[in-house]
Amino acid sequence: MPAVSKGDGMRGLAVFISDIRNCKSKEAEVKRINKELANIRSKFKGDKALDGYSKKKYVCKLLFIFLLGHDIDFGHMEAVNLLSSNKYTEKQIGYLFISVLVNSNSDLIRLINNGLKNDLNSRNPTFMNLALHCIANVGSREMAEAFASQIPSILVAGDTMDSVKQSAALCLLRLNRTCPDLVPMGEWTARVVHLLNDQHLGVVTSATSLITTLAQKSPEDFKTSIALAVARLSRIVTSASIDLQDYTYYFVAAPWLSVKLLRLLQCYTPPEDAALRSRLTECLETILNKAQEPPKSKKVQHSNAKNAVLFEAIALIIHYDSEPTLLVRACNQLGQFLQHRETNLRYLALESMCTLASSEFSHEAVKTHIDTVINALKTERDVSVRQRAVDLLYAMCDRSNSKQIVAEMLSYLENADYSIREEIVLKVAILAEKYAVDYTWYVDTILNLIRMAGDYVSEEVWYRVIQIVINRDDVQGYAAKTVFEALQAPACHENLVKVGGYILGEFGNLIAGDSRSSPLVQFDLLHSKFHLCSVPTRALLLSAYIKFINLFPEVKATIQEVLRSDSQLRNADVELQQRAIEYLRLSCIASTDILATVLEEMPPFPERESSILAKLKRKKGPGNVPDIDDARWNVNGNGNAEQSENAEGTNKFSPSLMADLLPTNRPRPASSSPTMLSAGTMGSAHPFTDLLNLNSSPSAGASLLVDVLSDSSTPASADVSEENFSRFVCKNNGVIFENQLLQIGLKSEYRQNLGRMYVFFGNKTSTQFLSFSSSVTSSDTLKTQLNVHTKPVDPTVEGGAQLQQILNIECLSDFTDAPVLDIQFRYGGALQNIAVKLPVMLNKFFQPTEMASQDFFQRWKQLGVPQQEVQTIFKAKHPMDTDVTNAKILGFGVALLDGVDPSPANFVGAGVIHTKNTQVGCLLRLEPNTQALVKRRTHTQTHPCIEPSYSCCNRVCVCVFPVQMYRLTLRTSRESVSQRLCDLLSDQF
């Protein structure tokens, strides 16, 4: 690179920077900058014969001012003119200014591209490097279209200098990441592979990065790189550090190139050629041997470089999973790091051993370190390392050590960090079920889980224990006795009350012979917890009470008194009130035989896969949960995969767990068995209607299990996530989707019929997302109503990094549907597919309109045609709060008009919906009623299993209770707009 002459010191720039630093206040700095900007502007306009040095100096000043945070709106043309200079320093400053300040949509892009083309064709290596750096820094689509076909030619040309080849490879890598569709695959692909044999290691390093990225997209085109990568790696690991002196880093030969070559090899399966495979094995053994050698330096840089190569080599060994000797050696090497003083090394060792534990060749070797891992779990101060220790214990667990590992996890659970307690609970529940030989131990383990971490025990866990208890006759009595004893504690977690209510309601008769657990004692024990529980748990206990009447006729009168009390019959909760009334009537009018039929014991559940494992995989993300043998479990807890597979074909209908406990007055499907209460008898309005989620539709349940348990690289079509859609009706910013792998945030702005949405994709893992793509799909109808233009995204998202995509939106006419954001990426070798409904609603194109009271009601009367008005009356979902309501109406997009409505409690708003084709005015009025009286008339109809001759079944119960109601009225000039806006807004209160 040419030396800088004394005349290039730019004294004026140095003086200006000194003046800025000497400013005593922000105002003085701004004043000095404005003075300098005025001077530069006058120089650019007045002096037409400004020399290159002066242009360079003034452009540098503008660049410095911009870096201080001030806007620069001139000087771009002068910077472009510097590109035509033959002096390196002037050209360098021009490219620097363009890289920092010129927008990719600038009108100057064509002139800039001409300057770039001239420098690329100049064959001057210094100028070519500057041009390639600029293309890579800007990375716009226009530059990719202009140079994507020229840069490969420069890269593979025989007369191109090494420094230019390096820049060309990295520039092409950048363009491939930003615009992969514009980088052509042609003859150069075969020639670029041979750069791995280049004598210049800088070229080899750059080319390896490029080839690795291209191989992930088109593996077959670069398969010849395997042999060259192995040969180059062999030469590096077998050479002395003095042989590669220029690329030796603290006595480690070319560590960055070694890591890149090992990553390239991870794109492919083990080499088929025996000689090549043997040579690669020798390389890996050499790396493992060098890790055992005494360090050649005590500096941390030496150990970092050495360990970087070692961990990448172990990752390749794990990826191949075909060499037992290497796998065991890798495990032993990692075991030495488990007690290393460096926290990062301990973390990486635990993480790598989690993967090794799933290999049949190294599982036993991993198990030898169980004591060290348990000690790390107890003594490690870093919570992330403790979490990896939990993962490793879970991965190394089998029948020989399951009780020890579960006991250690339970012991750690009491002091575990709150962020990982739920995950530990899930893992303990899975291991206890998977490796339970004695199911009394399983019951004890789950009850201990609930006792120690009840808040973190999800519904799937206690659903599962109930399934297993029902399906295993040998454990039912023990479960009833154990739950009864656990409930006697002064303070019980609500989940324990749920389990106790269910099990005692089904199997309390098995322990009723003991006077210490007589029917009345059982009932009193359960009822003592009733007033402390939430509404869903109270509903379950009421169902247990009606079961007690069937099991224990002697407590019938006591239970009827409870059901007859005012706190039940006049309960504010509709579900509890209805249950109490219906259960009371059922106990009064039904004979013993009918009660026994309606309330008979739950039948065994069909065999099915564990929902707890599915939940854990959803929480951790595919690829982050180590596989354990016999992945398919049936509900009885054994690992017979064949039986489980056979059961899948017949498991089209499963009786609901709570259906037998919760008989109501709803009719039973005709196809139900006459000997038990159908799962369909319970409506879906209450969360306990399908407690074990056995009656979920195939589209909801089956696709979930396929998504989390399938090893296929081609995922099933993703269900569109609408979970957070309604939250964005009255706001524009927030998180729209989040799982264990990915977080998607939105930031939107709208003006008239145009909008711009910034979508932020956050990689929550420490692993790259590869082949990342994001596109927006719309229905055919919506495409005529809404235009959504997406800008391409980088196909690679680094671990812990965030990626931004911009969506430009244009509203053509009113619409009701919403576009869908489709995301695909490859994580851990598996292709992930996520679909999220984008919160682009009609109200986003509101422009608020201020109106006086007289103008409002005049316009209100003009929109009095019935087709122009939509009105709905609905029950408030949330407590009425004036400030919250004001905020939601303003967030909806209309102007809130104070003092317009005669009633000060009402809310009035006005706005105009802007579309490309028309404008639609809108007036709205929201009237809250805090003391509306609602009558509920309940017919105690004949139950499906009760004879119709009981005339008392025709009685009617009428309940009157106050509720909070809203009346929402919208008037617009278009009926479809009124209806859509009404649907959107009414869902927010």
Q: For 598-630, how does the pLDDT look when each residue is reduced to its tens digit (9 = 90+)?
A: 888 888 877 665 666 666 666 665 555 555 444
pLDDT at residue 653 greater than cutoff 50: no
Residue of 308, 834, 395 whose CA lies nearest to 623: 395
Q: Which residues contact 813 (CB under 8 A, 6 or more apart)?
A: 784, 785, 915, 916, 917, 918
What is the mean predicted confidence (pLDDT) over 442-466?
A: 86
Assess contact for 758 and 796: CB atoms under 8 A. Answer: no
pLDDT at 352: 92
Res 679 pLDDT > 50: no
Q: Are 503 and 479 in contact (CB under 8 A)?
A: yes
Between helix 535-551 and helix 574-589 the angle, nearest 10°, is: 10
Amino acid in position 448: N
Q: How confident is the model at residue 525 (pLDDT cuts 50, 70, 90)?
A: very high
**pLDDT tens, residue by residue, 3-50:** 444 445 688 899 999 999 999 999 999 999 999 999 999 988 876 678
- Tell me the DSSP string of 190-236: HHHHGGGG-S-HHHHHHHHHHHHHHHHH-GGGGTTHHHHHHHHHHHH
pLDDT band at 932, cuts 50/70/90? low
In this structure, what is the dihedral angle of CA atoms 771, 129, 77, 10, given to the nearest 10 degrees?
130
Residue given tokens 């208890």 in the structure block? 469
Indicate the pTM of the whole model.
Answer: 0.59
Does residue 660 carry a pLDDT above 80? no
Indicate the average pLDDT of the chain. Answer: 81
Across the range 104-131, mean pLDDT stands at 87
State residue 12's pLDDT score: 86
**For a pLDDT cut of 70, what percent of the chain falls above it?**
83
Residue 762 one-letter amino acid: G
Instruction: Determine the pLDDT at residue 260.
Output: 94
For residue 760, pLDDT over 60 is answered with yes
Cβ count within 10 A of residue 864: 9
Parallel/antiparallel/unpaired status of strands 720-721 and 830-837: parallel
pLDDT at 657 over 80: no
Burial of 236-268, coded b for 16+ CB within 10 Å and e otherwise, reads bbeeeeeebeebbbbbbbbbbbbbbbbbbbbbb
pLDDT at 282 over 90: yes
Residue 186 pLDDT greater than 60, yes or no: yes
- What pLDDT is stored for residue 243 in this prediction? 62
Q: How far is CA 983 from CA 183, 729, 876, in A?
A: 47, 11, 14
C-alpha to C-alpha distance for 389 and 376, rounded to whole angstroms: 7
Q: Are strands 786-790 and 802-811 parallel, antiparallel or unpaired?
A: antiparallel
Closest CA to 141 of 174, 187, 94: 174
Find the Cα–Cα–Cα–Cα dihedral 392, 397, 400, 405, rounded to 10°. 70
Rounded to the nearest 10°, the torsion over CA 32, 34, 40, 44 is -170
